[in-house]
């Protein structure tokens, strides 16, 4: 059962969804993540980075100990936890809630016991058969992300995302995870072509019938290089433009590396929209 302080953070975060666009700040305590691998491995450095993200305007911090990029080397839960535990102990004391980015139920369970309130699973509860039960037992929120083992350029990506979500939501329901604690993520950059990444964002409204908030994580993704015209991969400019497009298409949460810049862009967007 979730501790009272963690539950309050969880409920405040969930209550804010839909009232305004929210920012999930990415903190990778990994040596090999595609954008910031190795920068925040040390516990003190990770805590300082988390503190800065809070100052910059993030609503939740997503900490991960294993890279999810396609070429990344898989690690076991012992190694993943060794990277995470020291950083987590400090970060969970901050004023914002903490999410654990993992596909392993043992890692999720330990992070939740330390004070994390949300599990961000890039395999949408479909990889580790214990994950859904761990989330339910801890009363945590969950992000169900669409994923595939390989690209298929002939797919209607939204149809494939819907099939995946149906399976994941069925698993969540059987485990007893309430819908009000469930968030969907279309999985930008995960086994999708550049066109499919674009389609997944442009056609977000086709997923509105689930009645669940949608998170988009296009930050610094490789496919952005094919959109900027200069071939430069993972630019901040491309990230900001794509994130704002996602908000316009119906996204409720942005998962980003550059919290300060996204927070500023969202303030401008809100000012342009008016009250």
Mean pLDDT of the chain: 91
Is 140 inside any structural domain? Answer: yes
**pTM recorded for the entire structure:** 0.92
Domain with residue 118: its CATH number is 3.20.20.20
**How many structural domains are present in the chain?**
1
Cβ neighbours of 189 (radius 10 Å):
21
Catalytic residue among 7, 49, 255, 273: 255
Cβ neighbours of 58 (radius 10 Å):
25
- Is 255 assigned a catalytic role? yes
Residue 218 belongs to domain spanning: 4-268
* Percent of all residues in the chain with a pLDDT value above 70, rounded to a whole number: 90
- Is 192 assigned a catalytic role? no
Nearest by Cα to 254 from 274, 270, 240, 237: 240
Is 79 inside any structural domain? Answer: yes
Summarised one tens digit per residue, pLDDT across range 110-123 is 999 999 999 999 99
Dump the DSSP string for 160-214.
HHHHHHHHHHHHHHHHT--GGGEEEE--TTSS--HHHHHHHHHTGGGGGGG---E
pLDDT at 113: 97
Is 274 inside any structural domain? Answer: no
Which tokens is 129 given?
A: 């058969």
Is 30 inside any structural domain? Answer: yes
Ranges of the chain whose pLDDT falls below 70 = 32-43, 69-72, 225-234
Q: Is the dihedral of CA 164, 167, 121, 3 positive or negative?
A: positive
Are 224 and 238 contacting, i.e. CB atoms less than 8 angstroms apart?
yes
Is 273 inside any structural domain? Answer: no
Summarised one tens digit per residue, pLDDT across range 3-21 is 999 999 999 999 999 999 9
Catalytic residue among 179, 221, 222, 267: 221
Backbone angles phi, psi at 232, to 5 degrees: -75, 125
Rounding to the nearest 10 degrees, give the CA dihedral for residues 173, 84, 107, 59.
Answer: -10
pLDDT at 37: 46
Is 231 inside any structural domain? Answer: yes
């Amino acid at each position: 059962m979730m501790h009272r302080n963690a539950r309050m953070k969880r409920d405040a975060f969930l209550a804010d969804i839909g009232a305004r666009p929210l920012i999930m700040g990415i903190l990778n305590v990994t040596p090999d993540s595609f954008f910031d691998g190795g920068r925040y491995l040390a516990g003190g450095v990770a805590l300082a980075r988390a503190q800065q993200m809070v100052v910059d305007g993030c609503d939740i911090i997503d900490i991960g100990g294993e890279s999810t990029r396609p070429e990344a080397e898989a690690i076991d839960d012992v190694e993943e936890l060794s990277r995470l535990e020291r950083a987590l102990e400090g970060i969970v004391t901050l004023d914002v809630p903490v999410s654990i980015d993992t596909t392993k139920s043992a890692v999720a369970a330990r992070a939740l016991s330390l004070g994390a309130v949300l599990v961000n699973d890039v395999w949408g509860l479909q990889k580790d058969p214990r994950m859904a039960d761990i989330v339910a037992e801890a009363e945590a929120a969950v992000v169900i992300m669409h994923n595939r083992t390989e690209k298929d350029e002939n797919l209607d990506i939204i149809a494939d995302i819907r099939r995946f979500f149906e399976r994941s939501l069925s698993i969540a329901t059987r485990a007893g995870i309430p819908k009000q604690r469930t968030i969907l993520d279309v999985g930008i950059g995960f086994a999708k072509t550049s066109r499919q990444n674009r389609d997944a964002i442009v056609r977000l409204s086709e997923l509105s019938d689930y009645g669940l908030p949608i998170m988009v994580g296009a930050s610094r993704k490789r496919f952005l290089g094919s959109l900027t015209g200069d071939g430069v991969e993972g630019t901040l400019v491309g990230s900001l433009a794509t994130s704002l497009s996602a908000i316009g298409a119906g996204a409720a949460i942005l998962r980003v590396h550059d919290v300060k810049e996204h927070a500023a862009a969202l303030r401008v967007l809100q000012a342009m929209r008016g009250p």
